Amino acid sequence: METVSVTKAFGGTQGVYRHASTATGTDMTFSVYVPPHAEGMKLPVVWYLSGLTCTHANVTEKGEFRAACAELGLIFVAPDTSPRGEDVPDDPDGAWDFGLGAGFYVDATEKPFAANYHMWTYVTEELPGLVAAEFPADMARQSIMGHSMGGHGALTIGLTCPDRYKAVSAFAPIVAPSQVPWGQKALGGYLGDDRVAWGAHDAVALIAGGARVPELLVDQGDADGFLDQLKPDLLADACAEAGIALTLRMQPGYDHSYYFISTFLGDHLRWHAERLG
């Protein structure tokens, strides 16, 4: 693991790191904030998954999470959203909603993406192993959150691994990618035409199929220009049918941006901290 930068913030350290990933076959960059803590102490870990076009840097620079993490004693980890590199395949038309920056947190099975786009394995297996080895992380106390495409990732990973994550939340998540153009393009491109495989990466479909977590927290701006892709009402209906305690907060006047996320990120971190112990 190579240290790209380390900066002191709120008594802790904000670092950016790079390593050679076996999951993606590329170098991957991620950021970790470690709050001030006593020597030898192990701290709970919050995973933050970013949205389309983003890298680790978006939330690291715009998220305004460090004061809350320092107060609450939370390690905050932000991975990238896709593999990167000159040899990594991208959308053939150069579109922003597929390929580089748009890994959708799946393990691709379709050529040419299957060689590198293993973001599910990277986020759920490889990077947690690295974080456990290199940082004062208590891996028995993990939680996960994300925004937009990353909200989709947080929901699907949390629903698939409910014993690992003590809390799951999201900002403006793509809750039913199988039913909207962003998701149909990504799931079809990475996983092919097998809709059963798509269902493993669709929060609404997972809940309908029996996946359960005790509760979810979702914030959604009612001025978000992408509501037709996000469809929070479908998640509300699925959770009501399944008996999952969903707190869906429609925030008046807020859009899809980091102005929205940074406004409510502290609320989410406090909600996570209560469940992480």
> Residues with catalytic annotation?
148, 224, 256
User: How many whole angstroms separate alpha carbon 145 and alpha carbon 48?
Assistant: 5
User: How many whole angstroms separate alpha carbon 74 and alpha carbon 179?
Assistant: 35
Beta bridge partners of 112: none
State yes or no: cis peptide before 35, omega within 30 of 0.
Answer: no
Conformation bin of residue 9: beta by default, left when phi > 0, alpha when psi is -120 to 50: beta
Cα–Cα distances (Å) from 112 to 149, 189, 200, 224, in that order, read 21, 10, 21, 33
Cα–Cα distances (Å) from 134 to 66, 138, 251, in that order, read 20, 12, 38
User: For residue 21, with 0-12 CB atoms within 10 Å meaning exposed, 13-18 middle and 19 or more buried, which class applies?
Assistant: buried
User: How many whole angstroms separate alpha carbon 15 and alpha carbon 3?
Assistant: 7
Q: Which of 161, 154, 178, 159 is nearest to 49 (CA)?
A: 154
Beta bridge partners of 250: 220
The residue count of the chain comes to 277
Q: Are 35 and 70 in contact (CB under 8 A)?
A: yes
